[in-house]
């Protein structure tokens, strides 16, 4: 059955007991790779879910960690909405669910919190259906996640891990996944205030110059080569430069862009993480102290690694 085009739903066998899903945070753009590049990071949202009844009904939802007390606890919760979309894509009658979310990924900080919610919901729903992987492939799951999110750059690494290049061809989303060299040290500076992605996107111009497009094309190619190990790490400062989106967002997040500029002047390849306002440093070993020295007051510093696996099912916590 082509689950993507399924219109009718059916009753199926569900997993006995709960399933647990872990999904990584992601950073998109990475400077010049606007709406294309994404990187999975070792900061996680965990979801435990189970079927309460095979009849559709109001869910039972709890949230701990990031977003607790802020996100809805009804059927409009994004993880729950994604699960319903997955059941429908698989041709399965959506059941009544229990959903427990424990979040580490900050909301509205440019670290892929909405992508994490969407991907974890789709994966959790597929995991609850006993023949879910046979009904619905990883790539089909990625495509639906991208369509729900509206763009593929965050959901691609959330699904597949590593460094991803996501794009659209023949009205379908595609991606290439690459491993990242082990000596890249992702460091993330996270402020205490959010920035809505829609607001950040609204600052962008409708067109850019040919020269700026060429500039970014060259830097994107250099960046992919450097992160995958084909070029020395010293190239990363030049390779992570951008003219397509970051300069236009400076007015809305001056402290963020000041930190980016200061770090880059100090030799650290720093960029806006996604739509901001967090800062991602693609540091070399030994640059941690430099990043800490440029951490704005009140901001958190996360010393992370690249997550190579993406979303996965794991043992249910005891």
27 annotated to bind ligand: no
112 annotated to bind ligand: yes
Q: Which residues contact 307 (CB under 8 A, 6 or more apart)?
A: 24, 40, 41, 42, 157, 161, 162
106 annotated to bind ligand: yes
Return phi, psi of residue 197, to 5°. Answer: -60, -40
111 annotated to bind ligand: yes
116 annotated to bind ligand: yes
How is residue 272 written in tokens? Answer: 């806006």
113 annotated to bind ligand: yes
Q: Which residues contact 97 (CB under 8 A, 6 or more apart)?
A: 49, 50, 51, 52, 59, 60, 80, 83
85 annotated to bind ligand: no
Residue list for the binding site:
106-116
Residue list for the binding site for ATP:
106-116
């Amino acid at each position: 059955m082509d689950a993507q085009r399924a219109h009718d739903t059916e009753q199926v066998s569900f997993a006995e007991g709960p399933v647990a899903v872990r999904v990584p945070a992601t950073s998109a753009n990475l400077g010049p790779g606007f709406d294309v590049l994404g990187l999975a990071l070792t900061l996680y949202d965990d979801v435990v879910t189970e079927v309460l009844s095979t009849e559709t009904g109001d869910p039972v939802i709890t949230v701990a960690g990031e977003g607790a007390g802020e996100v809805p606890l009804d059927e409009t919760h994004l993880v729950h909405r994604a699960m319903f979309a997955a059941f429908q894509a698989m041709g399965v009658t959506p059941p009544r669910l229990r959903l427990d979310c424990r979040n580490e990924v900050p909301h509205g900080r440019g670290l892929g919190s909405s992508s994490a919610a969407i991907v974890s919901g789709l994966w959790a729903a597929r995991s609850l259906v006993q023949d879910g992987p046979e009904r619905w492939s990883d790539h089909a799951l990625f495509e639906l996640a991208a369509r729900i999110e509206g763009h593929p750059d965050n959901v691609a690494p959330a699904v597949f891990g590593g460094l991803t290049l996501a794009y659209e061809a023949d009205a379908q989303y595609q991606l290439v996944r690459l491993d990242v060299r082990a000596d890249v040290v992702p460091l993330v500076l996270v402020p205490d205030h959010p920035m809505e992605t829609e607001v950040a996107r609204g600052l962008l111009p409708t067109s850019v110059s040919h020269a700026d497009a060429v500039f970014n094309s060259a830097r994107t190619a250099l960046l992919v080569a450097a992160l995958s190990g084909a070029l020395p790490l010293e190239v990363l400062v030049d390779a992570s430069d951008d003219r397509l989106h970051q300069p236009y967002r400076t007015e809305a997040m001056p402290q963020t862009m000041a930190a980016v500029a200061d770090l880059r002047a100090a030799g650290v390849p720093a960029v806006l993480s996604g739509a901001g306002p967090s800062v991602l440093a693609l540091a070399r070993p030994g640059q941690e102290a430099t990043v800490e020295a440029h951490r704005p007051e009140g901001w958190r510093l996360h010393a992370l690694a690249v997550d190579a696996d993406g979303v996965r099912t794991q043992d249910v916590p005891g």
